[in-house]
Amino acid sequence: MELTLKKAFELSIEKWERIIQDNGQNTFKDMPQLNSLLNECGMCEYYRQDCSECVINCGFDDGCNNTNHVYLIWSNHSTITNAQAVLDLINEKYAAHLKRYYK
């Protein structure tokens, strides 16, 4: 599958909507469209070669040193609220991407 940035955003949104649905837990092993992706994430898969370019900037490229990032907060405390914060960030970045490239 050729992954576009738009599709990467959509897959990431799908992932986080599922995590929220499952009470903040990472329980989407039955979703083959995500299981084949790096970190089960569209954005990680899209930026596989250089994650420092990723607009989500979750911290994998710097060894997860940004402990204030919403992803790392969710990773340490997997709650619905923390998962929603990640989804909100992805939606914000996706909206900016759509506005910029799909006027």
pLDDT at 83: 92
Global pTM? 0.84
Q: How far separated are the first and last CA of the chain, in Å rounded?
A: 26
The answer to whether residues 97 and 6 touch, using CB atoms and an 8 Å cutoff, is: yes
Using 50, 70 and 90 to split pLDDT, how confident is the model at 26?
A: confident
Interval 41-95: pLDDT, tens? 888 889 888 877 888 887 655 555 667 888 888 888 889 999 999 999 999 999 9
Could you tell me the two tokens for 68?
């204030």
pLDDT at 66: 64
pLDDT at 59: 63
